[in-house]
Amino acid sequence: MKRGGVWLPEFPEFTCLKDLSLSVIATDRLSLLPLTKLIERSPFLHGFTLNLGWARDSCKRNMQKVNKCPHQCLKVVKFSGFVGSIIDTELAMYFTENAVALETFIVDLKKVVVEESALLSEFVTTQKKLRPTRKRALHIGGKLPPGAEFLNELELEAK
């Protein structure tokens, strides 16, 4: 299956999968939404962790429409390397719209790894440069289902 420029196999149903952790090198040109097919094939998934690294490629594009696929069991979502770009925001919106049992959405702003991306360089290093990313993360937090908690690990460590 080719989705958004990324080739993914047809996944079987993972009925025993409870926690899924993926490490992905992302680029601004491609969407992370094809990963949702793997998540959708995991009906009893309770936790999802995405560790993002960023490749040196920048391109601006429009946000893609998020598929409707309610997840009844998914309770915890964690993003490491979130920068608030189109592609990580698309995937975050997928979870806010579909994880109906979501209890905790964690954004780890301290683990942003970028390889000289001009588009993303504003998000790296200093507290001042992290402000736009924090603002985008808080916007996602405002869209969570009722009762879900939004945690920003960078601010939790500072306390």
Domain ranges in the chain are 17-158
The model's pLDDT over 100-158, given as tens digits with 9 standing for 90+, comes to: 999 999 988 765 555 444 444 544 444 555 667 777 888 888 888 888 998 886 655 55
State yes or no: pLDDT of 75 exceeds 90: yes
pTM of the predicted structure, to 2 decimals: 0.72
Q: Are 64 and 4 in contact (CB under 8 A)?
A: yes
Q: What is the phi/psi pair of residue 59, to 5°? A: -165, 135
The SS3 call for residue 14 is: coil
Residue 14: which residues within 8 A CB-CB, separation 6 or more? 41, 42, 45
128 vs 130: CA distance, rounded Å: 5
Residue 140: which residues within 8 A CB-CB, separation 6 or more? 89, 92, 93, 96, 105, 107, 150
